[in-house]
Structure 1
Amino acid sequence: MKRTRRNLSLRLAISAAAMAFALSACHDKNPDRPAPETPAQKAAALAQRKKDLLDSVSGVWKPLEGDGLLTVYASAGKAQMADGDDPLPVGLGDVDPDNQTVVIKINWATRDELRTLALHDPTEGSAPATLQVTDGNGNQTEYTFVRKVSNDDLNRISRLGASPVKATTDANAAPQAQLAAATNRGVVDMWLGGIDMNLRSCPGSTCAAVLIVPKDSKLSVDTSTMRYVTETSGNNTPWVRVTYEGAYCTADEQDSQTGCAPSHGTEAPVTGWMNYTRLMATPRPQQ
């Protein structure tokens, strides 16, 4: 009887040892793994990657061929761009960190366009990053990185007439044939899009700013005064004489982030000049 009990105890001990060994083996085959990311963590990680990409495309860029500089600033749903002395009122589109691309939305006078900024960051050596810009017609231009954007750059773009808020037109929006036809319309009402605009003392972006007209404002435009001006960037731009009456800002009050918050009002209609391609035939739909 005692021998039977001893045999049973021995068998139980052997079984327990075997089970412990098996559990140990299973544990070795399945080492501790980090817990899977939660949806919130994944969203935060994606947001950070998008922010990093926008930081990388934001900068002053020089074309591989030709002269001039392209200034790009994109952050938190906003975008600002200037091609030389020509501000490009733009809106921020899709940001794709997987493919390192950023879409810039431009509303021309006659159509919408999407431009794609593709960042090529070198993985080896110390070569500078390059930026490939593809326009709506498939034309591509390569740029090399010069430096990061500064507050001076943002203030300069604002002074040139572009606001960092969403915009709806571009400096080269309307074809010249359509603009020539427009000169026969006489005096018409037109509107600004989603940008604040300088009312200038003469045709051309280098002329002194009289005042800053807030976005979406209504203007009286004398299309018979249209004339083309060759800007410092080399672009041939149409300008017209306009008359404005209403609230306005001064250059000192123009904020590089929030744009124009009008604090003055005209005592009488004010006449000046504006880039015709920045004007709209109908008011912008309010969201």
Structure 2
Amino acid sequence: MITKSVADYLINSSPANHSNTILYVESFLQRNIMRALYFSILAMFYSLAGRIAFFKRQTLEAEKRQLIIEKEKAELENQLTKSRNAYLQQQINPHMLFNALNFVYNSAQKYSDDAANCIWLLSEIMRFSLEEAGSDGKIKLDREVEQIENLVAINRYRFKEPLYLKLEMHGDFSRYKIIPLILLTLTENLFKHGNLTEVTSPAVLKLTTNETGQLTFYSRNLKKSKNGHPRQRKALGLQNIRLRMDSFYKGNYKLEINEPGEFYELTLTLKL
């Protein structure tokens, strides 16, 4: 409108034409200003929408790259876990080991039923520890529970003094699967680092599963005398358990440890 007004003013020298030009500009001025504002606002929103879409695409691409990295990391950790398990399983020839244990069992049976039973229980635990897990890295929960019972039986044979342990197991263990040797290791720590000889303060071991697939492992025992090394080994064992649990059950388990007075308590809750 300004350009047209200037051109009309320069081309038409007549005052009447100048008045017409002014009237023309004034009559269309409001309409053209509104039109200009409309397109300016529309352009501003279009530009803003483009910038938002650009940053959104960048965010989605970054999230996609992060998911790919996490997936690759999880696959590498899974392969590493399988490699470690395979390495441990190949350290000893299972056939040679069990043939030797069978010979020792038959020889010991002639002199002591208790010793023979201990050898048989030990061979069952070792057979279980060398079993290959499924493609998901897990075994049946009831198989691990069997080895807990075998380990308890072995330790009752080992010591001359009676062991005071309340063992409670509730639930349908055949329905679920778990990564091997977690519960067995926690049970072993109970005998290795706990005092189970006090009749007034018996140790407690409870293992339960419910209908939703939640497993709870609870142990409570008197502490043994402090000597440094057992505590260090216990911490290392629990650290290894946490590493394995993080690999398979990250966000779906809780391992709590309490030391009220002379007692040591451990509670593992796990969504199978």
TM-score tier after normalising by the smaller chain length: under 0.3
Q: Which has the higher contact order (CA 8 A, sep 6+)?
A: 1
TM-score (norm 1): 0.24
Higher helix share: 2
Larger Rg belongs to: 2
TM-score (norm 2): 0.25
